[in-house]
Amino acid sequence: MQKINWGIVGCGDVSEVKSGPAFQKAAHSSLHAVMRRNAAKAEDYANRHGVEKWYSEAAGLINDPNIDAIYVATPPDTHALYAKMAIEAGKPVYVEKPMCRTYAECVEVNTLAAKRNVPVFVAYYRRKLPGFIKVKELIEAGAIGDIRMVNIQLFKHAGEINGTKMPWRVNPEISGGGHFYDLASHQIDYLDFLFGEISHVQSIVTNQAGLYPAEDILSVSFIHQNGVVGNGSWCFNSSPLNNRDVIEICGTKGRIEFSTFDFIPVKLITGKGIEEFNYEKPLHVQQAMIEHVVACLRGNEQAVSTGVSGARTNKVLENIVKEYYANK
């Protein structure tokens, strides 16, 4: 393909700045149409973003002959549905994260994609952001020696929860889990990118605050197939004073510290001292990944975030929380 014409299924908040405009700004790419079940909101999005067409139902957009590839940006409960519709139409699909609600849904998507020979990409865009690429380069260059352990801490305050209208991100029937699925999925996927598949997990998962049905605090130990050991603590019910976001990778010659969401400088700490690498947050945080996906579809690059890697992340998330939901 010389130019990829995109259609977006689900033009909500995530597509306003993070992703939507990037489909128009990326080379060899254009945003041809958007879809939202609320027709007025679909039309408004199209008018504000200079998009030629809009739809209020997915089938019309997916089967539009002028659209080459589909971006699924709905909540996770419809990711598998719309991804499979796109695959059946023979159109490559770029799916928001987490890839699906469940690992089984991911397998369904990947099985159909393999059968139809249609590529699937997942929006784990940190795999293409400069700061995260720098961490990978430092590790591969041996800057901190042999890797021994990863430590993750992500603490966020609960915020205001209105019991009469629960946010979909903390409704497991829609999201697959809670804030852990929404946020930690980025971290688990990135560790997969650095060290390969996580082969075993042990976890303590519970809901302390009782604000919603999903898990709100987790303590997890895990090991990668290559032997790297990890520990993670996630708390979504604490005071704002306790908010933190840090990943620490420890090796035989030092460590690397960085943030998943705050875009603070990457720190390399060795016997030589502390070296910092600063990478500002892009205006459209998914643009580098979208440019990469376009290049893959044009045959110029090999995909770094696929349905296969996305499914691995779902499998780990599911293994971490399965006992909690089994006892609900």
Residue 15, both tokens: 């597509």
Distance CA 236, CA 281 (A): 24
Q: Is the pTM of this model over 0.85?
A: yes
Element (H, E) at 91: none
Residue 242, both tokens: 């306790």
Nearest CA-CA partner of 211 in 176, 178, 174: 178
pLDDT attached to residue 158: 86
Q: Where does the chain show beta strands of DSSP type E?
A: 4-9, 29-35, 53-55, 69-72, 93-95, 120-122, 147-157, 198-206, 217-224, 229-238, 244-251, 254-258, 266-270, 273-277
pLDDT attached to residue 136: 98
The answer to whether residues 149 and 250 touch, using CB atoms and an 8 Å cutoff, is yes
Strand partners, 5: 30
Tell me the helix, strand and coil percentages in the chain, rounded to 5.
Answer: 40, 25, 35
Residue carrying the six token digits 């940190």: 126
- pLDDT tens series, the chain, 328 aa: 689 999 999 999 999 999 999 999 999 999 999 999 999 999 999 999 999 999 999 999 999 999 999 999 999 999 999 999 999 999 999 999 999 999 999 999 999 999 999 999 999 999 999 999 999 999 999 999 999 999 999 999 987 665 567 899 999 999 999 999 999 999 999 999 999 999 999 999 999 999 999 999 999 999 999 999 999 999 999 999 999 999 999 999 999 999 999 999 999 999 999 999 999 999 999 999 999 999 999 999 999 999 999 999 999 999 999 999 998 7
pLDDT attached to residue 179: 96
Write down all domains in the chain, each with its CATH number in brackets. Answer: 4-123+286-305 (3.40.50.720), 130-281 (3.30.360.10)
Distance CA 320, CA 115 (A): 30
Distance CA 27, CA 10 (A): 23
- Count, residues in the chain: 328
Distance CA 30, CA 85 (A): 21
Residue 284 CA to its chain's centroid (Å)? 15
pLDDT attached to residue 165: 74
The answer to whether residues 123 and 10 touch, using CB atoms and an 8 Å cutoff, is no
| End-to-end Cα distance, the chain | 49
Distance CA 64, CA 121 (A): 20
